[in-house]
Copies of this chain bind each other. A is one copy, B any other.
Amino acid sequence: MRFALVVQGAPFSGASFSAYHFANAVITTGHELYRVFFYQDGVYSGNALSVPPQDEWDIQLKWEQLHLRHDVELIVCIASSLRRGLLDSTEAERYDKPAHNLGSAFEISGLGQLIDASLNSDRVITFGPC
């Protein structure tokens, strides 16, 4: 079966952790992970500048490893990420901001990717906001 995940909660609300565990389970049980769409506060998971303490997970790094190992598509919604200050180099340039902070494993795209995921997956699982 083909799964799409929607992550709407900020990294520390648990939503991103749960989605990460679920994403791994989809792969280990032999199903297909079509797309992980980070929306609303979920986009904060893509912040490459986060420095968690040693005894805590770096959820941004976890998602990056999953992307590299299993070629999972990680999309952050452009409207949500602009508002919240998650920029890649293109958006940083467009709005002449001095820096960008989106992890390389994450790709900025529009809400169309959420709808496309809904139309082309068998199951869409939402990991809720606070």
Contacts and interface: CB of A to CB of B under 8 A. Distances in A.
Interface string A37-58: 0000100100111111100100
B99 A47 contact: no
Nearest to A50: B85
B87 A51 contact: yes
B85 A101 contact: yes
Contact of A95 (B51, B56, B60, B91): B51
Interface of A: 10-12, 41, 44, 47-53, 56, 60, 82-87, 91-92, 95, 97-101, 130
Given A50-B84, A51-B97, A52-B82, 19 more contacts: A11-B84, A44-B44, A44-B84, A47-B84, A47-B85, A48-B85, A49-B86, A49-B92, A49-B99, A50-B83, A50-B85, A51-B82, A53-B82, A53-B83, A56-B83, A60-B85, A85-B101, A98-B99, A99-B100
